[in-house]
Structures are given as C-alpha cells and as structure tokens.
Amino acid sequence: MNETPAGRPTLETVARAAGASRATVSRVVNGSTTVRPDVAESIRRAIAELGYVPNPAARSLVTQRTDSIALILPESATRVFSDDAFFPGVIRGVGEALEKADKQLVLLLASTKSSHDRILRYVHGRTVDGVVLASMHGADTLPEELRAAGVPVVTSGRPLGEATVPYIDVEHASGVEAAMRHLVGLGRRRIATIAGPQDMVAGRERLAGYLNGLEALGAAPLVEEGDFMRQSGMDAMERLLARDPDIDGVFAASDLMADGALRTLRRLGRRVPDDVAVIGFDDVDAARFTDPPLTTVHQPIHEIGTRLAEQILRLVEGEEVEASVVLPTRLVIRESA
C-alpha cells in the first residue's frame, strides 16, 4: 500500500509517451506485425525507458488464460518427497519445459485431506490453464473431477482403473522382465521380490513383471510388500529370508527398497551378488553408490517431467494428444547382479 514510488506504468502511460494509442502499444507488446516499423520502434523505446511490464491479471481477465500450469503432488508423493529422487526429478523436468514455454509452474502440495477442495477451487477459479497430476494411489477421483471441470489434465503414471485422461508412464513390466531374465541368466533359481504398494499402478505392474518373468522358470513366486521406502525394503528382505533362506535373487520394486535389502543381506551375512543377486528399479543417483553398486531398471525420470509438460501445453492450446505415452525403461547392470 505504500511501496508504489511513482505508480507502475500502464499501457496508457506508454501510449502517451510514444504518442500512440493503447491499442497500438498492445499490438507491439504482443508482437503483432501490422504496426509500422518506426512507430513500433518508438513504442519499444518508450517501453524500455518506462520499464513497462504488462499486468498479467489484467491480461488474464480478458484473455481468460493465466499462462500457468499447476503441478499437483498428492499426499502420497510428498511423504516420500525428501527421501526419494523421483518427484524432485519430475518437478525439475516439468519446470524446465514450462520455463521454455514461458509458463509458470504453480506447485500444489496436497498435504492434507482438505487440499482436495482447495485444488478444485483453484481449478474452478481458473487460476491455472492446466493441471499436471503426479502419481496417485488407488482410484483417485481427482483426475476425473478435474476433467469434468473442463480443465486440461495430464497424469504421471497410468491411473488404477480406467484412464479417463491422458497420461505419461514407463514400461514397468517389460523393464522388470528384462531384470528377471538377467537374474535367470545368472543362474538364479530362487528369485523373490519386494513389491511396491499394490494400490499404485507402479507397484502392481512391477509385480506383474516379476510374475511374468518367473513363469519362464516355473518357480513359485515369493513376494513381500513394501512401501517403496528404504526401511520397508530392509524389513521385507528379512521376512523373505525367514520364509526361504535359500533365496539367491531379489527384485525390489524401487532402488530405495533394494538398498534396504542390501543392508539386511549384509547384516545377515549374505554376500551380494555371490550369494544373493539384487536388482532395483528407478536408477536414482544414489543407486551408483550402494554397496555394491546397484543393478537396476532405469526409468527416464527427467523425461517424464518434460513430456508431462509438453502434453499439458498442447492440451491447453486445444490440440489433441495421445491418450498415453509410455517411455522405455532399460536394465543398467552394475555389481549387485
């Protein structure tokens, strides 16, 4: 209320300074080509001198666009936020791509239950032109509600149940199958898995990949479930070993859980990979630094982010986009298997 030294210049100010009309200045600001070069030049000079910057609120009011995109991270995402490199990587990818398009990134960390309504309010109020929704548990109703509200939406990860909005995902199952083939090729016969949460598609599909891979072996599955975090991997590995001490191979559905498994194995005197071979999933930076370095299924985290951004931008422009984009994964062989 007191910090307006001389009042910010408006279109009107610039117009007067350049001896033109508001409309013409607006044309120059928005890059219209139908302005006489010399007039455009003098307007540009006036803009520079006055330090004029368009007021986005006024612009939004008439264009009905805000040039900003929301990235929504549900509670399940924020919980692992500080320990997992997945979401920071996605955020970075989305952020970079949006910056290139000169759009703003509005981050909505849905930490609590009440956030749901808040998100819908934002979206209904057209605070953002589009929404990127990251990884949700179970049958989240949010994507559908957003779609119903008429807002462009893209989700990261195929939703459980029917996909009603476009999504970006990776080849979970085939990546895991490659990992399984690698273990089998190593001569492993008693292969267990530490699965992810089964109310998340990533958890389910990685388990499916394990089961598919096991079929070739004709061996019985050996599954313990974790929550993608390290501690759960440690615990699951212990349960696994209690159920079958002869396990010689483990696929863990996340690098963090694989690292947990590595620790438990070491503690219980198993050598990796000699006694037990371990493969993870994600290929986060830290995977290169586990002991031993982790063989893992690489997924292109950064690219997931950039592709999410690309798709939402196209949707916002009214273009059609593929119902789904599924990015490849690949096995990165290090020393744990």
Q: Which residues bind DNA (CB under 7 A)?
A: 7-8, 10-12, 19-24, 26-27, 29-30, 34-36, 39-40, 52, 54-55, 58-59, 61-63
Name the residue nearer to DNA (CB basis): 24 or 66.
Answer: 24
For its own copies, which residue of 72, 76, 89, 236 counts as binding (CB under 8 A)? Answer: 89
Q: If you ran DSSP here, which 8-state letter would residue 35 be given?
A: S
Q: Closest by alpha carbon to 73, among 107, 102, 101, 39?
A: 107
For its own copies, which residue of 30, 33, 48, 125 counts as binding (CB under 8 A)? Answer: 125
Neighbours of 243 (CB within 10 A): 12
Tokens representing residue 76 in the block: 């399940």
Site for its own copies in 2-61 (CB under 8 A): 2-5, 8, 51, 53-58, 60-61
Q: Which does 29 bind (CB under 5 to 8 A by kind): DNA, its own copies, none?
A: DNA
Q: Which does 293 bind (CB under 5 to 8 A by kind): DNA, its own copies, none?
A: none
Q: If you ran DSSP here, which 8-state letter would residue 4 be given?
A: -
Q: Is 78 in the site for its own copies (CB under 8 A)?
A: yes
**Interface with its own copies by CB under 8 A: which range of 155-163, 181-189, 191-199, 278-286?**
278-286
Task: Name the strands in the sheet holding 249-252, side by side, starting at the edge strand that comes first in the sequence.
Answer: 223-225, 191-195, 249-252, 277-282, 295-298, 330-332
Provide the β-strand partners of residue 223. Answer: 193
Name the residue nearer to DNA (CB basis): 55 or 112.
Answer: 55
Q: For the CB of residue 184, give the shortest distance to its own copies in the complex, in Å.
A: 30
Measured between alpha carbons, how far is 114 from 108 in angstroms, rounded to an integer?
A: 12
Measured between alpha carbons, how far is 205 from 216 in angstroms, rounded to an integer?
A: 17
Q: For the CB of residue 75, give the shortest distance to its own copies in the complex, in Å.
A: 11
CA torsion sign for 237, 241, 244, 248 is positive
Name the residue nearer to its own copies (CB basis): 104 or 212.
Answer: 104
Burial 76-100 (b: 16+ CB within 10 A, else e): bbbebeeebbbbebbbebbbebbee
Name the residue nearer to its own copies (CB basis): 42 or 68.
Answer: 68
Q: For the CB of residue 57, give the shortest distance to DNA in the complex, in Å.
A: 7
Measured between alpha carbons, how far is 129 from 134 in angstroms, rounded to an integer?
A: 17
Provide the β-strand partners of residue 298. Answer: 282, 330
Measured between alpha carbons, how far is 55 from 36 in angstroms, rounded to an integer?
A: 25
Q: For the CB of residue 29, give the shortest distance to DNA in the complex, in Å.
A: 5
- Helices (H), ranges, 201-295: 201-217, 230-243, 255-267
Name the residue nearer to DNA (CB basis): 10 or 68.
Answer: 10
Q: Is 292 in the site for its own copies (CB under 8 A)?
A: no
Q: For the CB of residue 115, give the shortest distance to DNA in the complex, in Å.
A: 22
Which residues sit at the interface with its own copies, rule CB under 8 A?
1-5, 8, 51, 53-58, 60-61, 66, 68, 71, 78, 81-83, 85, 87-89, 91-92, 95-96, 99, 102, 104-109, 111, 115, 118, 121-122, 124-127, 150, 230, 259-260, 263, 266, 284-286, 289, 291, 301, 318
